[in-house]
Amino acid sequence: MELNLLSGLLLLALLCLALLPFAIPGVLEVLLALAIAAFASAGLMWFDWLPQDASLVLLTLAMLTALSAVLLWKPLRKLQKTGVRLQEDSAISDFVGTELVLTQQARKDCDSYIQFCGLEWRVRLDPEETASVAETGQTVVISSAMVGLLLVKNKSI
């Protein structure tokens, strides 16, 4: 199988897209810009608007990558700044509403511990709960989830 410039550009673009989920911020933007530029360069070559000269193709790829990066920079930064952060907003956590059976007594003033999702979590009774203690073996509902801490309420029947 012969690898020409067109198929090389398409392969580069697909490789960049495949690496996007694993990229850290900063590298993510570069990979996305490179993928867009590689697809655009391949399109220009496909329609014969760009000759298949390696130095000209690389120059075009570099210029289109820079242009894509400049055009994408502000929108991507805006998305990162306004994105919802799950760790800070426990109201949207997937754990909220999950029922647990306590293995230790839960109180408002001190932490107890429970195994949940393969980890040991600190558990505390929610300050809004009317009761001051939830006994061992009682079913409770997660009302808030923070890093390493679950606030729980008694299950309403």
State the pTM of this model: 0.52
- Which residue's structure tokens are 């997937």? 94
Write out pLDDT tens, residues 2-32.
Answer: 579 999 999 999 999 999 888 887 788 899 9
Residue 8 host element (H or E): helix 5-19
**What is the per-residue pLDDT for 88?**
47
Q: Find out whether 106 and 123 touch, Cβ atoms under 8 Å.
A: yes
pLDDT of residue 9: 93
pLDDT at 87: 44
For 44-95, write each residue's pLDDT tens digit. Answer: 999 999 998 999 999 999 999 999 999 988 888 777 665 444 444 545 577 8
CA neighbor of 80 nearest in space, from 23, 17, 147: 23
Are 141 and 153 in contact by the 8 Å Cβ rule? The answer is yes
- pLDDT for 18 equals 93
The answer to whether 137 touches 116, Cβ cutoff 8 Å, is no
Spatial separation of the C-alpha atoms in residues 61 and 39, rounded to whole Å: 9
Tell me, what's the pLDDT at 84?
44
At 2 the pLDDT is 59
